[in-house]
């Protein structure tokens, strides 16, 4: 979600724009660079999650893909840190020229802090960094989920992004799962984050047969293109409530402060009595009626 169209960067930094992000029927967070259609992955069946992990939420009325924005507010102080590993299909030349769409220092810090996290990864990112994708996707501290293959928007009017045609939405998600498998990730989770956070009834219907849950958020970190780590830390800590899902990024070139933010946020959340969990734990708690 971080390869932002530069002309909207300032807008995304405004608190009014940030307040608009979250679990709506067309929740838009940011604009991204347009990927090339020529590099889209071919359709294939998505990987099935490990049987030991919680399944996706049950589809709602009309068989629409369910949408999850936060966990229970009354079942303890838990919070899920999520990181979008963004790379679009046309950014290979920039990566070859030395731009870092990865952030190994961030992953190392999460491991050092023993902080669980859910990473929403694009298929193109997994293709560019297969060793890192495999390392993240096979580490029990993390869970790897789907952020589309090409990073097109799934609705119109999503910060100027080109849109995935309705008849290609499913294959775009499937293409990411195929990229994960090729990188050596056997069990990516059945969770999907819409590029830009933009979705509508048509996109929810298009993905309904995949058995995935769309995962949004209720806390925007503001780390995209941020240069003031302290401001991002304050925004996260001010926004977190029990059951929160925090959205951050795992793309060093576009979110250079995130590793520093995590070093400050994780100890402070724990000091405040929060337990860090993965998205699957929040979804499991949401479906537990006992």
Domain coordinates in residue numbering, the chain: 66-287
And the tokens for 211? 């058995």
Question: What's residue 25's pLDDT?
Answer: 35
And the tokens for 234? 């304050």
Over the stretch 97-112, which tens digit does the pLDDT of each residue have? Answer: 999 999 999 999 999 9
Higher-confidence residue: 159 or 215? 215
Asked if pLDDT for residue 66 goes beyond 60, the answer is: yes
Whole-angstrom Cα distance, residue 158 to residue 283? 27
Asked if pLDDT for residue 23 goes beyond 80, the answer is: no
Question: What's residue 161's pLDDT?
Answer: 75
Domain 66-287 falls under CATH 3.20.20.370: yes
Q: SS3 of 170, please?
A: helix
Q: Supply the angle between the helices 130-137 and 169-183 in degrees, to the nearest 10.
A: 90
Higher-confidence residue: 164 or 17? 164
Rounded mean pLDDT, 217-224:
96
Higher-confidence residue: 270 or 11? 270
Whole-angstrom Cα distance, residue 290 to residue 284? 12
The pLDDT-based confidence of 90 (bands split at 50, 70, 90) is: confident
Asked if pLDDT for residue 56 goes beyond 90, the answer is: no
Asked if pLDDT for residue 48 goes beyond 90, the answer is: no
The pLDDT-based confidence of 79 (bands split at 50, 70, 90) is: very high
Question: What's residue 32's pLDDT?
Answer: 31
The pLDDT-based confidence of 92 (bands split at 50, 70, 90) is: confident
Q: pTM for this one? A: 0.82
Q: SS3 of 145, please?
A: strand
Q: Could you tell me what percent of the chain has a pLDDT over 90?
A: 69
Whole-angstrom Cα distance, residue 38 to residue 135? 28
Whole-angstrom Cα distance, residue 113 to residue 267? 8
Over the stretch 140-173, which tens digit does the pLDDT of each residue have? Answer: 999 999 999 988 899 999 877 788 999 999 999 9
Average pLDDT, the chain: 83
């Amino acid at each position: 979600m971080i390869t932002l169209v530069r002309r909207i960067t300032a807008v995304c930094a405004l608190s009014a724009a940030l307040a608009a992000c979250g679990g709506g029927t067309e929740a838009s967070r940011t604009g991204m660079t347009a990927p090339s259609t020529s590099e889209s992955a071919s359709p294939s069946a998505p990987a099935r999650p490990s049987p030991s992990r919680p399944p996706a939420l049950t589809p709602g009325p009309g068989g629409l893909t369910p949408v999850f924005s936060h966990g229970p507010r009354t079942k303890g102080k838990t919070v899920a840190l999520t990181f979008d590993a963004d790379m679009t299909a046309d950014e290979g030349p920039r990566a070859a020229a030395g731009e870092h769409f990865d952030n190994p220092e961030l992953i190392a810090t999460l491991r050092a802090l023993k902080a669980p996290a859910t990473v929403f990864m694009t298929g193109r990112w997994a293709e560019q960094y297969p060793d890192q994708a495999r390392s993240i996707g096979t580490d029990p501290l993390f869970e790897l989920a789907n952020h589309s293959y090409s990073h097109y928007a799934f609705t119109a009017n999503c910060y100027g992004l080109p849109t995935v045609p309705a008849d290609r939405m499913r294959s775009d998600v499937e293409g990411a799962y195929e990229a994960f498998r090729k990188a050596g990730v056997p069990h990516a989770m059945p969770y999907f984050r819409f590029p830009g956070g933009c979705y509508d009834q048509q996109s929810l219907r298009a993905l309904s047969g995949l058995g995935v849950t769309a995962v949004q958020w209720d806390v925007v970190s503001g780390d995209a293109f941020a240069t003031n780590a302290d401001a991002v830390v304050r925004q996260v800590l001010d926004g977190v409530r029990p059951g929160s899902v925090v959205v951050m990024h795992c793309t060093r070139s576009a979110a250079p402060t995130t590793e520093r933010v995590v070093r400050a946020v994780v100890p402070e959340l724990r000091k405040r009595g929060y337990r860090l969990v993965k998205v699957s734990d929040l979804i499991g708690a949401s479906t537990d009626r006992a």
